[in-house]
Amino acid sequence: MKAIKSYQTAWANIWKYRFPIAFLYLANIVFTFIASSPYTIYFKQKMQHSDVLDFYEGFDITMIGEFVNNYGQGLVPLMTLFIILVVFYYFFSIFANSAILYAVSSQNKFIPLRSFWNGGLNYYWKIMRLSLYYILSVICVVGFAWFVLLAVGINILEVENDAELARKIKYALIGILILIGIFSMIKQYAKLHIATKNLPFISSSILKSGGFVIRNFLQTTLLYLINIGVLVLFFILYVNVRRVINVDAWLLTFIIAQVYLLFKIVFRIVHLDSCLTLLLKLTKKK
């Protein structure tokens, strides 16, 4: 099928993205180091003077209150720093998505780092608006699902049958995941329409990508499930490998974590590249 062949083609093209992958990997490493250093230093200094982590004498939940009372003032700037880091990482992720979009849509045999950087700036504001629309859509879906649950009589304070509550919540979660999956597909193809069609308005890209997903629902859904399925399987493998590794084997743990980080970066590129390949195949004039 075209979806499977598109996914295979994306993996065959992955080597040409070696410089963007290296850049994104190093950027993630640097950001993680900068973001974690203040927290590591603070807690390392404070914990050695506190009984919170004294597991040998027995852990007591009240120790956390003792720590907050004694060192809570230092947590306020750390929380402020956390918010700043989250906002910064969101802006950086928009840049990374824009750069990946440029690299994939250019269809060049070689992606130099300079072009990758310029591409991130080229689509930045359009991808940011698209991202905000997607976030608002997800919020609306979750809010609508909650409203429906209340409408059909889901009230945790008044429920008498736990099985009935679990069943309705399960159906609601399945519905939410399906809708979010559809919105994710539309978002992915909307990005490609922005780059390949050069449409002036984001709404036009969203409408065209929505129509494309609906017309080719089986193919686009199959490709989406393949991409997400591979990511989930790799995550399960990563978690299970981490469980069997000895805690003292910090070097092996570090290497496995880096492999997982690299895979997540590669996954983002393969996902978009496979979607572009499928888009071109299904819209090609006969």
pLDDT at 56: 44
Which range is most confident: 18-27, 78-87, 108-117, 156-165?
18-27
Contact 20, 269 (CB under 8 A): yes
In this predicted structure, the answer to whether residue 55 has a pLDDT above a threshold of 50 is no
Q: Is 173 left (phi over 0), alpha (psi -120 to 50) or beta?
A: alpha
81/76 Cα distance (integer angstroms): 9
In this predicted structure, the answer to whether residue 278 has a pLDDT above a threshold of 80 is yes
Q: Which of 13-17, 158-162, 248-252 has the lowest mean pLDDT?
A: 158-162
pTM beyond 0.95, yes or no: no
Residue that wins the pLDDT comparison between 49 and 2:
2
275/10 Cα distance (integer angstroms): 9
**How does pLDDT run across 170-189, given as a tens digit for each residue?**
877 888 899 899 999 999 99
| 4, 149, 150, 165, 174 from 156: Cα distances, Å | 44, 11, 10, 8, 19
In this predicted structure, the answer to whether residue 161 has a pLDDT above a threshold of 90 is no
Contact 141, 176 (CB under 8 A): yes
| Stretch 138-143: mean pLDDT | 87
In this predicted structure, the answer to whether residue 195 has a pLDDT above a threshold of 70 is yes
Mean pLDDT of all residues belonging to the chain = 83
| Stretch 122-137: mean pLDDT | 91
267/231 Cα distance (integer angstroms): 7
Alpha-helical (H) ranges within the chain are 2-12, 18-47, 62-71, 75-106, 113-122, 124-151, 162-197, 202-215, 217-244, 250-283
| 16, 38, 138, 264 from 32: Cα distances, Å | 26, 11, 27, 15
Query: Total domain count for the chain?
Result: 1
- Domain ranges, residue 259: 2-283
CA 179 to chain CA centroid, nearest Å? 17
Contact 6, 221 (CB under 8 A): no
**How does pLDDT run across 196-231, given as a tens digit for each residue?**
887 778 888 999 999 999 999 999 999 999 999 999
pLDDT at 248: 73
CA 40 to chain CA centroid, nearest Å? 25
Residue that wins the pLDDT comparison between 7 and 151:
7
